[in-house]
Chains A and B, each alone.
Chain A
Amino acid sequence: MSKLPLQGIRILDMTVVWAGPYAATLLADLGAEVIRIESIQTLAPTTRGIMARPPEILVQNLPPFIGGYPNRDGGERPWNRSPQFNSHGRNKLSMTVDLRTPKGKDIFNRLVAVSDIFIDNNVAETMEKLSIGYESMKSIKADIIAIRMPAYGDSGEYKRYRAFGVHMANALGHGLVRGYQDMDPSTNSGEFVVDAAAGAQAAAAAMMALIYRKRSGKGQLIELPSARATFAYLSRSFLEHTMTGRIPASLGNRDAIAIQGCYPCKGDDRWIAITISNDSEWTQFISALGNPDWAKASEFHDHLSRRQHHDALDEKISSWTQAQDHRDAMQILQSFGVTAGPVMDARDILSDPHLQERGFYVDATTPDTGTYRYPTAPFKLSGTPLAIRRGPVMLGQDNDYVYREVLGVSDEEFDTLVEEGHIGTEYVSGIK
């Protein structure tokens, strides 16, 4: 088999920020033709960077994953150089159109007519203002599959509630079951697990709908609120409440059953995470450490007792880890069958020998960034190797293909569309 599973499936992608784009990335990895529908008149904030042309003070001060443009330089077209966008921009196409105009709307409808899936995760107002919805798309393409990813739902009281992933996670209870054990929750740092949860599951939902369409000939609307899709992930804490009546609190880096922690290693800000689940893993653990005398103390004599003396045990474990390189410690412990791994920073993971051997990061090139290593699909198919077929897509990069080849627009019409501001590769100057 040489054809990718989703080859021949065309997806119209109006996703923003992270959750929706991640779904589109996974579908693009599997071979779908994902066309990002963008606009040079409106910038979806926090998508191609937090601003189209961020002021220098922001470029210099934003954390690397947002402000880390190549060499901290936004360049002429910062929107094509944002790590926030480019990390998921592989294998996609981009076209521009001004959907606020009747002509833009007509172009959109013509695209719907030749597409299989539509996906977006905008707030409800945005789609209502543009009058884009499943019913109108269905009247153009009867078997279209439309995936809506609101925050909480497309009906009811929270329909208009705005939220980033971390907010939805808090509303679902995650904010109070993570965080340092003895510290105030206001010290919580950010996390973006909701984007990952909703994005992956939206890709799964899309393929379920494709499988059903193949069998029945029918498309459908899928409502996948990011919060709803993440709820399963919190099941253990939720069930602890529904089954025992307790209100679960954060365990920090500890576990409900095992001995567990994150321990300092040799070097600056180096750490290793270790989990010891039971008595036999304990025996392996102390063998790895050379059966030190302290491990024979009565308070460490069985699993229950070790859990009761977790603080004291952590000190002993730290005294060993502190003398170890974080990677070496993993190898020693894993060779004795103990679950342990270094806390990898970006430099560690890019140079990780395991990921290197598996070819996880590969070079990709775009004219606006040059050549860098990018992550590939998070799974491998034996019959149809997945690849980065093209680097992160630049704004409007595929206007020629989409307008001329997909829609059959004439040269004359194309020129008019450029003049009217539909087709372009740069945000208009009024956009920050």
Chain B
Amino acid sequence: MTDKALSGITILDLTQGISGPYTTKLLADYGATVIKIEKPGVGDMARRIGPFPNDSPHLETSGMHLFLNTNKKSLTVNLQTNAGVKIIRELVATADVLVESYKPGTMDKFGLGYSDLKSINSKLSYISISNFGQTGPYKDYGLSEIVLYAMGGEMYSTGLEDESPLMLGPDMSLFQGGAVAAVASLGAIYGAELDGIGQHVDVSLMECLAGSIDRRMATALAYEYTGEITERKALSTVGYPLGVYPCADGYFELVGGVLRWNQVVQMLGSPPELLDPKWSTPEAMQDPDLKSEFEEIFFPWILEKTKQELWQLSQANNIQSAPLNNMEVVVADPYFKEQEYFTNISHPIAGDFLFPGAPWVMQETPWEIQTPAPQLGEHTGELLGNIGYTEDDLVRLREQNCI
């Protein structure tokens, strides 16, 4: 077996939905052994959110579940039974990490809080991922993608002046929370590897967004510095052209402005009207009349070009740019294909589909999908057998509705 970055690290995963499972997916796909604890008969809520092949819902074929739970093993345990709690405590003894995303206080009620478990395994890194953190007035509040971006993120200034604030595409903030929680988890894991002492990590999704480089830190600091709020409007002030424009076969986005004016003129084939020195000053870039004059030349030019032509022309002139691709174009993009941005995963029930692939490439320690997302309780017998449960025990636990 190839050595992976996290080979030898065992993680108990008591998360569900998107953020927590993305954290443990990152760890699993780079080699950690992840045991996913699910509720018997019900399982992770991601099993119900789809999308489903042919739009027919099935507990084993939800796209988000299949994507987020690769390389994990599924163990069904009822945490509301003593025998179920006992199983988790036995697993904790040999695990390195526990990640959970219950409402604050729930794990304590089960008898599985950090203080309950650190006496079993002092090296355990215990990661709690919650909506608002383990403390504070909002700790029991609910969260969704839009509410997360509204409260923690920069939704206020995203969108247009005369419209309501606008969220990002589906799940973007929940994934970001999962990625930041992976950073927190790995910090704790590395610390425990060094000195053998585990700790409790409190990850608040709201703070993952409030502390995000997606403008929120900067807009808050700008308010501290100036008392000004970053308004919701198209970012036009660094000059023109800037933003999304319609073109011959769709839409294209690029950045010109004061820093790239000469490149823009070159891209446009150096029309004589634009060679006048009046354009190349910061003041000109703020002048609405000159902007209109520029657009009279620019709009007809861009409307005649395709996205691909524009991408090549703008890149040849070192201008930051890209087409607005739809998912059909993304799947067909030869570069993304060649670089393996996506990968085929075969699942015994769902079948074969393309999924997003390795988020990064490590030269020595590969990212690999060894097993597709598990079926509900697929590894219950195997995992309990490993810690000494007999066939008879399993029968008894099933009868008690414990596994």
Query: Is residue A140 contacting chain B, with contact meaning CB distance below 8 A?
Result: no
Question: Which one of A33-41, A153-161, A406-414 contacts B?
Answer: A153-161
| Top 10 A-B residue pairs of the complex, sorted by shortest distance between their CB atoms | A68-B222, A5-B191, A378-B211, A239-B63, A383-B199, A346-B223, A167-B322, A339-B142, A64-B222, A224-B360
Other A-B contacts than A72-B226, A355-B136, A372-B224, 17 sampled, CB-CB below 8 A, are A6-B187, A65-B215, A152-B339, A188-B253, A200-B176, A205-B360, A211-B189, A221-B363, A222-B363, A232-B359, A235-B356, A376-B211, A378-B203, A379-B208, A381-B184, A383-B200, A384-B191
Question: Which one of B80-88, B159-167, B388-396 contacts A?
Answer: B159-167
Tell me the smallest distance from the CB of B72 to a CB of chain A, in Å: 15
Return the contact of A357 from the options B135, B169, B254 (Cβ within 8 A): B135
Tell me the smallest distance from the CB of A57 to a CB of chain B, in Å: 5
Question: Which one of A97-105, A107-115, A254-262, A300-308 contacts B?
Answer: A254-262
Report whether B156 and A343 are in contact in the complex, using a CB–CB cutoff of 8 Å.
Answer: yes
Q: Mark B227-259, 1 if CB is under 8 A from A, else 0.
A: 011111111011000011110000101110011
Query: Is residue A118 contacting chain B, with contact meaning CB distance below 8 A?
Result: no
Report whether A379 and B190 are in contact in the complex, using a CB–CB cutoff of 8 Å.
Answer: no
Question: Which one of A79-87, A396-404, A422-430 contacts B?
Answer: A79-87
Q: Mark A337-379, 1 if CB is under 8 A from B, else 0.
A: 1111111111111100111011011000000010011111111
Q: Mark A128-161, 1 if CB is under 8 A from B, else 0.
A: 0000000000000000000000001101111011
Return the contact of A341 from the options B147, B238, B333, B354 (Cβ within 8 A): B147
Query: Is residue B186 contacting chain A, with contact meaning CB distance below 8 A?
Result: yes
Q: How many residues of B contact A (CB 8 A)?
A: 161
Query: Is residue A320 contacting chain B, with contact meaning CB distance below 8 A?
Result: no
Query: Is residue B180 contacting chain A, with contact meaning CB distance below 8 A?
Result: yes
Return the contact of B51 from the options A223, A236, A349 (Cβ within 8 A): A236
Report whether A189 and B226 are in contact in the complex, using a CB–CB cutoff of 8 Å.
Answer: no
Q: Mark B290-318, 1 if CB is under 8 A from A, else 0.
A: 00000000000000000000010001001
Report whether A180 and B51 are in contact in the complex, using a CB–CB cutoff of 8 Å.
Answer: no
Known: A180-B159, A193-B168, A244-B51. A65 touches B147 (CB 8 A): no
Chain B hits for A224, CB < 8 A: 359-361
Chain A hits for B155, CB < 8 A: 262, 273, 343
Report whether A380 and B202 are in contact in the complex, using a CB–CB cutoff of 8 Å.
Answer: yes
Tell me the smallest distance from the CB of B25 to a CB of chain A, in Å: 8
Report whether A231 and B359 are in contact in the complex, using a CB–CB cutoff of 8 Å.
Answer: yes
Report whether B210 and A260 are in contact in the complex, using a CB–CB cutoff of 8 Å.
Answer: no
Report whether B63 and A372 are in contact in the complex, using a CB–CB cutoff of 8 Å.
Answer: no
Question: Which one of B3-11, B35-43, B104-112, B268-276 contacts A?
Answer: B3-11
Query: Is residue A218 contacting chain B, with contact meaning CB distance below 8 A?
Result: yes
For the residues of B in contact with A, the DSSP-based class is mixed
Chain B hits for A248, CB < 8 A: 327
Query: Is residue A58 contacting chain B, with contact meaning CB distance below 8 A?
Result: yes
Chain B hits for A355, CB < 8 A: 136, 206-207, 210
Return the contact of A378 from the options B197, B208, B334 (Cβ within 8 A): B208
Chain A hits for B215, CB < 8 A: 65, 192
A-B contacts, 28 of them at CB < 8 A, read: A6-B187, A22-B212, A68-B222, A87-B218, A156-B335, A176-B326, A180-B163, A187-B234, A190-B243, A201-B26, A205-B362, A212-B5, A221-B362, A223-B363, A236-B170, A240-B327, A247-B326, A260-B144, A262-B165, A262-B167, A334-B141, A340-B142, A341-B148, A342-B150, A358-B207, A360-B210, A361-B220, A380-B202
- Bound CA–CA A369/B359 (angstroms): 38
Known: A64-B228, A68-B228, A349-B210. A382 touches B341 (CB 8 A): no
Query: Is residue A297 contacting chain B, with contact meaning CB distance below 8 A?
Result: no
Most A CB atoms within 10 A — which of B26, B148, B327? B327
Query: Is residue A122 contacting chain B, with contact meaning CB distance below 8 A?
Result: no
Report whether B230 and A346 are in contact in the complex, using a CB–CB cutoff of 8 Å.
Answer: yes
Known: A63-B231, A156-B339, A164-B320. A378 touches B63 (CB 8 A): no
Chain A hits for B282, CB < 8 A: 55, 57-58
Chain A hits for B229, CB < 8 A: 64, 345-347
Report whether B232 and A189 are in contact in the complex, using a CB–CB cutoff of 8 Å.
Answer: yes
- Bound CA–CA A338/B143 (angstroms): 9
- Bound CA–CA A227/B200 (angstroms): 32
Chain A hits for B358, CB < 8 A: 228
Chain A hits for B223, CB < 8 A: 64, 68, 346-347, 350
Query: Is residue A171 contacting chain B, with contact meaning CB distance below 8 A?
Result: yes
Chain A hits for B364, CB < 8 A: 212, 216, 218, 220
- Bound CA–CA A252/B164 (angstroms): 10
Report whether A68 and B356 are in contact in the complex, using a CB–CB cutoff of 8 Å.
Answer: no
- Bound CA–CA A319/B112 (angstroms): 44
- Bound CA–CA A190/B26 (angstroms): 28
- Bound CA–CA A209/B1 (angstroms): 18
Most A CB atoms within 10 A — which of B52, B64, B222, B224? B222
Chain B hits for A341, CB < 8 A: 141, 143, 147-148, 150-151
Return the contact of A350 from the options B8, B214, B220 (Cβ within 8 A): B220
Q: Mark B61-100, 1 if CB is under 8 A from A, else 0.
A: 0011011100000000000000000000000000000000
Report whether B225 and A68 are in contact in the complex, using a CB–CB cutoff of 8 Å.
Answer: yes
Known: A172-B325, A201-B359, A232-B175. A273 touches B199 (CB 8 A): no
